[in-house]
Amino acid sequence: MKIEVIDAILELETLGYSFTLEGDSINFTHQGTKPGPAIVRPLLHTIKENRDDALEWLRDDAEAFRMDCHFLAAERAEVAARQAEIANDRVIKQFHWKRFARFFAAAAVMAGATEPFIPWDEWIRSFDDETVQIYDQASVHQTQG
């Protein structure tokens, strides 16, 4: 199975897409703010070009495993964001914090989390420098306390 297919499915799930199977047909729906076609089309193309791998992943995969993949991807994005902070690369840092937020929100929804006071898509969009600083301060308090 090609890792590109798994990455495409996971990335689309973080963007609000969900997949169902009907026989050998892969169906998808979207909830929330739709991302631009420049982001979505290449991911859908990867799935279409590797349809058999996508079917295998979606059939054999337990939702709990996909949820774990989202949490792991969120963790990797957080590490990349912190490395960008150390390197003082604001653009890359912002990119990875947004990826962290999308992966975390997707995993939380898969885990059964209800919609928080701030809807997930608004929470993701709100990941700016101020939010990241608040998150960092909360992390420091947790580790000290």
Three-state DSSP class for 34?
Answer: coil
What is the reported pTM?
0.56
Residue 114 pLDDT > 50:
yes
CA 133/CA 94 separation, integer angstroms = 12
Average pLDDT estimate for 71-86: 86
Three-state DSSP class for 113?
Answer: coil
CA 34/CA 121 separation, integer angstroms = 10
Contact 66, 109 (CB under 8 A): no
* Mean pLDDT taken over the chain: 78
Reported as a pLDDT band with limits 50, 70 and 90, residue 139 is very low
Q: Which residue has the higher pLDDT, 71 or 144?
A: 71
What pLDDT score does 115 carry?
67
* C-alpha dist (Å) from residue 141 to 77, 104, 129: 22, 21, 18
CA 115/CA 119 separation, integer angstroms = 6
Residue ranges covered by each domain of the chain = 3-61, 64-144
Strand partners, 20: 27
13-68 pLDDT per residue, tens = 888 888 888 888 999 988 877 888 898 999 999 999 999 989 888 887 556 677 77
- 68 C-beta neighbours (distance < 10 Å), count: 14
Residue 80 pLDDT > 80:
yes
Residue 82 pLDDT > 70:
yes
| 136: amino acid identity, one letter | D
